């Protein structure tokens, strides 16, 4: 859920780390730039990031940490082995209230919110009239309201979109921002770290559920979810207590601050989409291989923007398909072309690519013509003028460790 910036010159000198840095960040500076202005928004943890030696960059109008002194590689592997603490306060948190809130939001997303149990969360997408994805979002049934988290880079257009449709909605629904910080703790140690700070038995709290609870005396909303493929939690907390909470989560030594650079390589290993790269306004959820986010009742009845095109693709297939690729040789960057192995015909393009720190090989996501989407199909990817062999792979590339109860 982020866009990335080229700062390969500032990373650790190890060959492997430089490989990861170059492949992740070169050529995608649409949202990141080195911080050089005082006009950027700052999260409540900004001073903590700076005091911790973070490399700060502009991200969609925010001054955010992209890496810490130990480098992206170490942060990535620490998250996979112990726990990473991410400041995701730049994300927008919203509250949808009113007795017709579910009816209203179901007109704009593909999720079956009517049957979403209280305390449960659902990954969904906001769609436009042509079936394209305006943004991906997590929606929680918080009882008397819907708790919605949207991407930082899409927040303004998402809120404008919701407001526009609220004005036309014939029913009782309202939207208001939730002005709070948001922290994400991710990794195998996340559960034990949080468990020591709460009275709730979170070992029985499954993936994609959410509760309001006190975390060592601090009122929070704790949602078991994340963007790394690891078990973990996103914790919504008042700005005034965000730094205190972050320090409490790091007190054991198992969790350390991790920047947006490692967050991007982690999400790619997990096969998760990056809005503006892997999904965007001209991509339908069917083309993006996100059929599973479309609720069963929504498949049968529609009732959301772009439903005609999306339901037609569910029935008859889409012309293109998002796939994972394992690539031999150098990592492929966004925009690299994918080719038929025998004829060299161009059949698609890479949307995200990196060198996997866990697998020690180049991985990527991209779109291919539907006839080439079968697993283990051999293709070529053009990297710096050279055709590198690649194979269509299942995703996630690295097995996910979500908590199932």
Lowest mean pLDDT, pick from 11-25, 272-286, 328-342: 11-25
Beta strands in 180-283 (DSSP E): 181-186, 210-215, 218-223, 232-237, 255-257
Report angle CA 52, 54, 57 to the nearest 5 degrees. 150
Answer yes or no: do 41 and 74 share one domain. yes
Helices (H), 234-293: 239-250, 260-269
Cα dist from 95 to 18, 61, 98, 150, 355, whole Å: 42, 23, 10, 11, 38
- What is the rounded CA–CA span in Å between residue 54 and residue 259? 8
- CATH number at 263 reads 3.30.1360.120
Give me the mean pLDDT over the 16-41 stretch.
48
- Give the pairing of strands 83-87 and 255-257: parallel
Which position has the higher pLDDT, 260 or 7?
A: 260
Residue 201 clears pLDDT 60, i.e. is over it: yes
- What is the rounded CA–CA span in Å between residue 361 and residue 377? 18
Answer yes or no: do 166 and 190 share one domain. no
Answer yes or no: do 70 and 22 share one domain. yes
Partner residues linked to 223 by β-bridges: 210, 234
Q: What share of the chain is helix, strand, coil (3-state, %, to 5)?
A: 25, 30, 40
Number of C-beta neighbours around residue 32 at 10 A: 22
- What is the rounded CA–CA span in Å between residue 140 and residue 211? 10
Is residue 392 within 8 A of residue 325, CB to CB? The reply is yes
Answer yes or no: do 36 and 166 share one domain. no
Is 120 contained in some domain? yes
Answer yes or no: do 65 and 102 share one domain. no
pLDDT given for residue 37 in this prediction: 52
pLDDT given for residue 200 in this prediction: 94
pLDDT given for residue 243 in this prediction: 98
Q: How far apart are the first and last CA of the chain?
A: 27
Is residue 138 within 8 A of residue 223, CB to CB? The reply is yes
Lowest mean pLDDT, pick from 14-28, 97-111, 179-193, 218-232: 14-28
Answer yes or no: do 40 and 62 share one domain. yes
Is 76 contained in some domain? yes
- What is the rounded CA–CA span in Å between residue 369 and residue 320? 4
Residues ≥6 apart with Cβ < 8 Å to 289: 321, 322, 323
Answer yes or no: do 83 and 112 share one domain. no
pLDDT given for residue 5 in this prediction: 30
Structure confidence at residue 33 as a pLDDT band (50, 70, 90): low
Residues ≥6 apart with Cβ < 8 Å to 13: none
Is 397 contained in some domain? no
Task: Give pLDDT tens digits for 213-249.
Answer: 999 999 999 999 999 999 999 999 999 999 999 999 9
Is residue 189 within 8 A of residue 254, CB to CB? The reply is yes
pLDDT given for residue 60 in this prediction: 86
Answer yes or no: do 96 and 228 share one domain. no
Answer yes or no: do 30 and 141 share one domain. no
pLDDT given for residue 76 in this prediction: 98
Tokens representing 181 are 């910080």
Residue 59 clears pLDDT 50, i.e. is over it: yes
Phi, psi (rounded to 5 degrees) for 168? -95, -10
Tokens representing 65 are 């940490």
Beta strands in 270-377 (DSSP E): 320-327, 337-340, 346-356, 361-369
Task: Give pLDDT tens digits for 60-91.
Answer: 899 999 999 999 999 999 999 999 999 999 99
**Average pLDDT score, the chain:** 92
pTM (predicted TM-score): 0.91
Is 239 contained in some domain? yes
Cα dist from 195 to 203, 205, 215, whole Å: 8, 11, 9
In the block, which residue shows the tokens 């029935």? 315
Answer yes or no: do 83 and 204 share one domain. yes
Task: Give pLDDT tens digits for 296-325.
Answer: 999 999 999 999 999 999 999 999 999 999
Is 143 contained in some domain? yes
pLDDT given for residue 28 in this prediction: 35
Answer yes or no: do 47 and 102 share one domain. no
- What is the rounded CA–CA span in Å between residue 356 and residue 264? 11
Is 64 contained in some domain? yes
Residue 26 clears pLDDT 50, i.e. is over it: no
pLDDT given for residue 405 in this prediction: 80
- What is the rounded CA–CA span in Å between residue 180 and residue 237? 6
Is 244 contained in some domain? yes
Which of these three, 293, 316, 339, is where a domain ends?
Answer: 316
- What is the rounded CA–CA span in Å between residue 233 and residue 149? 14
Answer yes or no: do 189 and 257 share one domain. yes
Residue 358 clears pLDDT 90, i.e. is over it: yes
Residue 121 clears pLDDT 70, i.e. is over it: yes
Structure confidence at residue 3 as a pLDDT band (50, 70, 90): very low
Which position has the higher pLDDT, 171 or 14?
A: 171
**Structural domain total, the chain:** 2
Structure confidence at residue 18 as a pLDDT band (50, 70, 90): very low
Is 331 contained in some domain? no
Structure confidence at residue 38 as a pLDDT band (50, 70, 90): low
Expressed as residue numbers, the domain containing 140 is: 91-178+284-316
pLDDT given for residue 9 in this prediction: 25
- Longest CA span, the chain: 64
Residues ≥6 apart with Cβ < 8 Å to 21: 7, 8, 11, 72, 261
């Amino acid at each position: 859920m982020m866009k990335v910036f080229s700062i390969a010159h500032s990373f650790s000198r190890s060959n492997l780390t430089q490989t990861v840095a170059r492949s992740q960040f070169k050529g995608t500076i649409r949202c990141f730039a080195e911080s050089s202005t005082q006009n950027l928004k700052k999260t409540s943890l900004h001073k903590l990031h700076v005091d911790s030696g973070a490399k700060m960059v502009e991200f969609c109008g925010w001054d955010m940490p992209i890496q810490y002194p130990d480098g992206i590689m170490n942060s990535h592997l620490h998250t996979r082995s112990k726990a990473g603490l991410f400041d995701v306060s730049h994300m927008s948190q919203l509250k949808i209230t009113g007795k017709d809130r579910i009816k209203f939001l179901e007109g704009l997303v593909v999720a079956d919110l009517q049957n979403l149990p209280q305390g449960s969360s659902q990954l969904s997408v906001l769609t436009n009239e042509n079936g394209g994805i305006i943004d991906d979002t997590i929606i929680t049934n918080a009882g008397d309201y819907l708790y919605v988290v949207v991407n930082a880079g899409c927040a303004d257009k998402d809120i404008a979109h919701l407001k526009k449709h609220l004005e036309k909605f014939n029913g009782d629904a309202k939207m208001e921002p939730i002005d709070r910080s948001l922290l994400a703790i991710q990794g195998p140690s996340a559960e034990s770290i949080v468990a020591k700070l709460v009275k709730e038995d979170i070992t029985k709290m499954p993936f994609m559920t959410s509760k309001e609870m006190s975390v060592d005396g601090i009122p929070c909303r704790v949602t078991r979810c994340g963007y790394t493929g690891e078990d973990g939690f996103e914790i919504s907390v008042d700005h005034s207590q965000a730094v205190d909470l972050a320090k409490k989560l790091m007190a054991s030594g198992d969790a350390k601050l991790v920047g947006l650079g490692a967050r991007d390589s982690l999400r790619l290993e997990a096969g998760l989409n990056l809005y503006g790269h892997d999904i965007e306004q001209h991509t339908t959820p069917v083309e993006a291989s996100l059929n599973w986010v479309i609720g069963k009742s929504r498949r049968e009845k529609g009732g959301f923007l772009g439903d005609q095109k999306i339901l037609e693709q569910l029935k008859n297939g889409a012309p293109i398909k998002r796939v994972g690729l394992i690539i031999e040789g150098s990592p492929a960057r966004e925009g690299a072309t994918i080719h038929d192995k025998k004829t060299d015909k161009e059949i698609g393009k890479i949307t995200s690519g990196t060198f996997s720190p866990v697998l020690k090989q180049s991985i990527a996501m991209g779109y291919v013509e539907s006839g080439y989407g079968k697993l283990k199909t051999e293709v070529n990817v053009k990297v710096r003028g050279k055709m590198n062999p690649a194979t269509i792979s299942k995703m996630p590339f690295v097995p996910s460790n979500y908590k199932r109860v």
